[in-house]
Every structure is written in C-alpha cells, then in structure tokens.
C-alpha cells in the first residue's frame, strides 16, 4: 500500500461545481484515513503547477494522485491555472496511480503520462457529467480509487466500478423522471479510460 495520497480539488467559492468536487474529495479522504494512508488535500488556493511540484517533491515515500476539477485535452485546470499538463508536472507519476474525475484528460494528457510510464491512469476522454444532488454520481466517480485503497488490484477496481454503475443506473431507472440522470451516468461510463496492468495495486 502507498504511504501518501494527494487529493487535488477545485473548492473555489466561485466554482459552480464546488460541492460535487468537494464531495468526491471528502469520500477519498475518508477512505484514505480508514486505510492508514496520509492524505494531502490541495484546494484551489494552491492548485497551480509550482505547488503541485513542491508537494510531490516533498513526499519521500510512495504516493497516489487524485484530482477532482475541470480538465482539457492537455491539462487538469483550476480556473486559468494548468496544474498538470502535457508540459507541466507530467513526469512525476512513473509507476504511480493518476486518478481523475475531470473532462477530456483521457486524451493528450493521458498519452503524455503513459509516455512517462504512469503506473495506472484513470480518467475520461469526453466531457464528464454529474448531478451534484445525487449521491450516485459521487459513488461512481470515486469507487475505483476507493477499491484500490482497500488493497484490491486494478481488475477488482474495474469490476467494482462496473457494479457501481449498474446499481446506480438501476436505482435511478426505477423512477421514470430520472431518465436524464441515467443517460448522464451511461455517458460517463462510456467515456471512462483506464490504463494499467490488471495486477496494479497500491
């Protein structure tokens, strides 16, 4: 098991989706505490390339990285700050986990991280969707990392994710007025990109 996990979260008061991002980050923080993993929460005030670099360099032991913010084809972003991109901080993740719930990062950014030998990449190639008031979206966004923090491997994390989506969709589908939410969850599942050896674990 890794010794540390970084939890990057866009919690800016001006961020429209702050509550959702914070809910995801809180879910991972709670699981890290249960697993005995030291967590480093980085909020929007420090979500920039320099602070991320300093934080990672200051961790002397193994670590995993997670992010809940906006994204582009080439970067994770907070406001106008690109804090990890195809040109910034992409070399820190050799043999490590890079887990994100952010739009579009499963494209050029993923390719750069893979080129730099990321141990496992978890992200999305399209726009991600969520309804902040519906807990199933947080559950599905975080289940993969929570499973890995339980000591399971990537195969088991994928299986847990599929089950979580199946259960969430079935739950919501039982109420006809939830058809939009069901469509959004299905879109997220289809957009999910997971790269890594099936035996990868934390």
Instruction: Residue 173: give its domain's CATH number.
Output: 3.40.50.1460
Token pair listed for 16: 């429209």
In a domain, 202, yes or no: no
Token pair listed for 90: 């992409």
In a domain, 154, yes or no: yes
In a domain, 10, yes or no: yes
Per-residue pLDDT of the chain (202 residues; tens, 9 = 90+): 999 999 999 999 999 999 999 999 999 999 999 999 999 999 999 999 999 999 999 998 889 999 999 999 999 999 999 999 999 999 999 999 999 999 999 999 999 999 999 999 999 999 999 998 999 999 999 999 999 999 999 999 999 999 999 999 999 999 999 999 999 999 999 999 999 999 999 9
In a domain, 201, yes or no: no
User: What's the number of domains the chain is made of?
Assistant: 1
Residue-number span of the structural domain to which 22 is assigned = 4-196
pLDDT digit string (tens) for 2-21? 999 999 999 999 999 999 99
In a domain, 141, yes or no: yes
Round the CA-based radius of gyration of the chain to a whole number and report it: 16
pLDDT (0 to 100) of residue 60: 82
In a domain, 9, yes or no: yes
pLDDT digit string (tens) for 114-134? 999 999 999 999 999 999 899
In a domain, 100, yes or no: yes
Full-model pTM: 0.97
In a domain, 70, yes or no: yes
Q: What is the dihedral of CA 108, 45, 131, 137, to 10 degrees?
A: 70
Please answer whether residues 69 and 41 qualify as being in contact, where contact means their C-beta atoms are separated by less than 8 angstroms: no
């Amino acid at each position: 098991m890794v010794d540390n996990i970084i939890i990057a979260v866009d919690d800016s008061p001006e961020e429209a989706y702050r509550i959702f991002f914070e809910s995801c980050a809180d879910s991972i923080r709670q699981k890290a505490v249960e697993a005995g993993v030291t967590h480093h929460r980085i909020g929007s005030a420090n979500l920039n390339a320099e602070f991320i670099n300093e934080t990672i360099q200051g961790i002397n032991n193994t670590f995993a990285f997670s992010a809940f913010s906006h994204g582009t084809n080439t970067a994770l972003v907070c406001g106008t700050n690109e804090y990890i991109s195809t040109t910034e901080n992409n070399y820190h993740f050799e043999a490590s986990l890079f887990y994100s719930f952010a739009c579009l990062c499963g494209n050029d950014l993923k390719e750069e991280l893979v080129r730099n030998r990321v141990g496992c990449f978890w992200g999305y190639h399209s726009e991600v969707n969520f309804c902040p008031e519906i807990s199933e979206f947080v559950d599905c966004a975080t289940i993969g990392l929570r499973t890995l923090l339980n000591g399971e491997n990537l195969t088991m994390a994928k299986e847990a994710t599929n089950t979580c989506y199946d259960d969430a969709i079935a739950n919501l589908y039982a109420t006809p007025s939830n058809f939009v939410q069901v469509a959004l969850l299905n879109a997220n599942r289809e957009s999910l990109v997971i790269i890594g050896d099936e035996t990868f674990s934390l």
